[in-house]
Amino acid sequence: MSAVPFEPRPLNASEHAVLEHILSAGFVGAAALRGQLDRTEVVATWGAGSASVDLRVRGLVRHPAPASVPLPVDALVHDRAGEYIGELLVWAEGGTTLSALEYAWVTDEMPGSLPSVDQIQRTAQ
């Protein structure tokens, strides 16, 4: 899928809750990344109907962007019956600036929205 850029918008309630939950895992740098949430905007989706989004943190001076890396958190998603249906990855430029929220699924149908926080089993790696 290719990114579908649009006018930046604030995180919606679901995106904010999911990111806050994942960033509450105990890993180095998590507190600094949580501190970016109120300044984080969504700038693109990963395709029509995709729950995965590209992020930008307002107010940060942009330099040539270092590579984005996934944060060291396992965020496994289970449906209401307890079946594994995917995982969430949070990407950060250079590991220090939020850059994307990815919902990777293993079901036949692409999810059209993020899971609720109670469906996410999160542990730091």
pLDDT band at 125 (very low <50, low <70, confident <90, very high): confident
By CB atoms closer than 10 A (0-12, 13-18, 19+), residue 38 is: exposed
pTM value is 0.92
Cα distances (Å, whole numbers) of residue 48 to 3, 5, 24, 29, 62: 9, 11, 29, 32, 28
Q: Residue 26's CB: how many other CB atoms inside 10 A?
A: 9
What is the tens place of the pLDDT at every residue in 73-116?
999 999 999 999 999 999 999 889 999 999 999 999 999 999 99
68-70 and 97-105 strand pairing: unpaired
For residue 95, give the nearest of 32, 24, 17, 8 by alpha carbon.
Answer: 32
pLDDT tops 70 at residue 64: no
Is the separation of the CB atoms in 53 and 100 below 8 Å? yes
pLDDT tops 60 at residue 41: yes
pLDDT tops 70 at residue 1: no
For residue 117, give the nearest of 85, 76, 89 by alpha carbon.
Answer: 76
Return the DSSP state at 16.
H
